Amino acid sequence: MKKRFNTTGVCVPRKHYMVDITNKLKEIRELIDNEFYFTINKPRQYGKTTTLSELKKLLSDEYLIISISFEGIGDSVFETEEYFSKTFIELLSENIEFIDEDESKRLDFLGNNTKSIKDLSKVITRFVRDSKKEVVLFIDEVDKSSNNQLFLSFIGMLRNKYLDREMERDYTFKSVILTGLHDVKSLKLKLRPEDEAKYNSPWNIAVDFNVDMSFSPKEISTMIEQYSRENNIDMDKKSISQEIYFFTEGYPFLVSRLCQIIDEKIKKDIKEAWSKEDIKKAVKMILEEKNTLFDTLIKNLENNKELYSYIEDIIIRGIEKGFNNDNPLIEIGITYGYFKNRDGKVAMSNKIFGERIYNYMVSKLENTYSKMDGYNFKGEFIEPNGELNIEKILKRFQQFMKEQYSSKDQQFIEHHGRLLFLAFIKPIINGTGFDFKEVQVSEEKRLDVVITYNNFKYIIEMKIWRGQKYHEDGLNQLCNYLDIHGLDKGYLVIFNFNKNKEFKEDRLNIQNKDIFEVYV
């Protein structure tokens, strides 16, 4: 069987190219060996199920590992204690049957007359007490059914047994791992008013789970190494892994999907070394495809207007937001996997999410406001050698803004101006080029757009006019940014909201860099 990259369901080593997560498994095992209970709450498609599968293999010689999932069991299971308790025992028994049929039958026998959570507790006590091995419980997708009182009673029972075990007056699971999107410790459960007093942090026994589940460049290289070895390809694994990390920040699904696109689409007919350009092509393709991760991203933005506006502030307007886990919007963004803490400030968790959101916001703006037809016809801006005529693009955008938006108020342009420019250039570079954006938080709140088109690279900086001093500082910063990218020429789009402004253009030479700028 030929191995492949996998982005659906659990990854299996004999079938799929996989990142070596040995060090992560060792960290998790240490928690289990020390009898801790904890929750692995990570975003969708973050490798939780695969991690549990590999962890089960690692621990199965020493422990009896019972691994179940609450996905697909339905809400009716939680209607009565008897129904839930019997179903829970059935789930445990069915899982154990593949490992130890005798233990499975013993559990079935113990659970014959179970009618309540209290009865379920007694079954767990007797089963664990007489088990040949210490028992560890994994429950995947735990938050699928966690918004009701019965679930609260269930984890409360596990908590009480844990505390009694510590005082040597009960037997229970050595360790319990709950996995899902949300942290069970902070769920806002649907409780009746009279039950509020019962909410006594039923999972406050759990220790914090601090294992980094994202993939580092070094870890990504282990998967690239597998692929290279099995396909007899010699490539620069370190460079490729770092480039994949640059766009994904190690988000497991995005890492695997980029590799999958390169293998199955870009290099489908010829197995040869990957290049950074291949990765850029894959990024462009993933940004244009429909998948459940991006569908969920857009749905979450549309269902939470505050979150939408918050992200717009960060990635469009360059507004600096202090990172604070107690802020509900930041907490939601972290839960969904959209935010990270960068030097005490809120930042997008990876470039691909940022680009996808940019593209979505641009598309919405086009539907509502833009009148660009006739201004940005692609053929007018391509030179015979395949290079973009950026100066012509900027002049045409200036004309567009003067003719279509000069009468608009300042608030409209300040809010939408940069999105309008991104919408303007998108049809020009579509199909051939690729662009990504970096917010540079400063007094000028710069937004740098880096475009690669054919084999050419361009940096266009957008900023709001804040006065001559800030402008000069910004020019020096742009020169430094050009140095980083090895370029001698840069471009500026300056949004000026002074009433006596003029739509002008300038050419400057700063630090031996050729800078062309337009004012709109």
Cβ neighbors of 220 (< 8 A, separation 6 or more) are: 19, 241, 244, 245, 250, 255
Q: Higher confidence at residue 328 or residue 146?
A: 328
* DSSP helix/strand/coil, 342: strand
Mean pLDDT is lowest, of 110-124, 265-279, 331-345, 433-447, for 433-447
Distance separating alpha carbons of residues 112 and 86, to the nearest angstrom: 8
- The pLDDT of residue 198 is above 50: no
Domain coordinates of the chain in residue numbers? 22-198, 217-289, 369-520
Cβ neighbors of 417 (< 8 A, separation 6 or more) are: 401, 462, 495, 520
DSSP for 368-435, please give it: HT---TTT--GGGGB-TTS-B-HHHHHHHHHHHHHHHHTTS-HHHHHHHHHHHHHHHHHHHHTTTEEE
Residue 295 has a CB neighbour count (10 Å cut-off) of 10
Task: Give how far Cα 462 sits from Cα of 317, 365, 378, 431, Å.
Answer: 10, 18, 21, 23
- The pLDDT of residue 234 is above 80: yes
Q: Are 381 and 392 in contact (CB under 8 A)?
A: yes
With DSSP H G I counted as helix, E B as strand and the rest as coil, what are the percentages for the chain, rounded to 5?
50, 15, 35
Count Cα atoms within 13 angstroms, Cβ side, for 284. Answer: 19
What is the amino acid identity at position 311? Answer: I
Helical residues (DSSP H) of 177-327, grouped into ranges: 217-230, 237-248, 252-261, 276-288, 292-303, 305-315
- The pLDDT of residue 196 is above 80: no
Q: What would the 3-class secondary structure string for 280-316 be?
A: HHHHHHHHHCCCHHHHHHHHHHHHCHHHHHHHHHHHC
The Cα diameter of the chain in Å comes to 87
Distance separating alpha carbons of residues 374 and 252, to the nearest angstrom: 42
Distance separating alpha carbons of residues 513 and 222, to the nearest angstrom: 40
Q: Higher confidence at residue 467 or residue 491?
A: 491
What is the amino acid identity at position 190? Answer: K
The CATH H-level superfamily of 22-198 is P-loop containing nucleotide triphosphate hydrolases (3.40.50.300)
Confidence of residue 369 (pLDDT cuts 50, 70, 90): low
Q: Higher confidence at residue 453 or residue 298?
A: 298
Task: Give how far Cα 253 sits from Cα of 11, 91, 258, Å.
Answer: 11, 28, 9
Per residue in 75-93, pLDDT (tens digit) is 788 889 999 999 999 999 9
Tokens of 455: 């084999």
Distance separating alpha carbons of residues 506 and 516, to the nearest angstrom: 6
Distance separating alpha carbons of residues 133 and 519, to the nearest angstrom: 73
- The pLDDT of residue 199 is above 50: no
- What percent of the chain has pLDDT above 90? 62
Kindly provide the b/e burial profile for residues 342-359, where b requires at least 16 CB atoms within 10 angstroms of the residue's own CB.
eeeebbbbbbbbbbbbbb
Residue matched to tokens 């001093």? 469
φ/ψ of residue 348, rounded to 5: -65, 145
Q: Are 138 and 66 in contact (CB under 8 A)?
A: yes
Strands 339-342 and 345-348 come out as antiparallel
What is the amino acid identity at position 486? Answer: G
Per residue in 244-293, pLDDT (tens digit) is 999 999 999 999 999 999 999 999 888 899 999 999 999 999 999 999 99
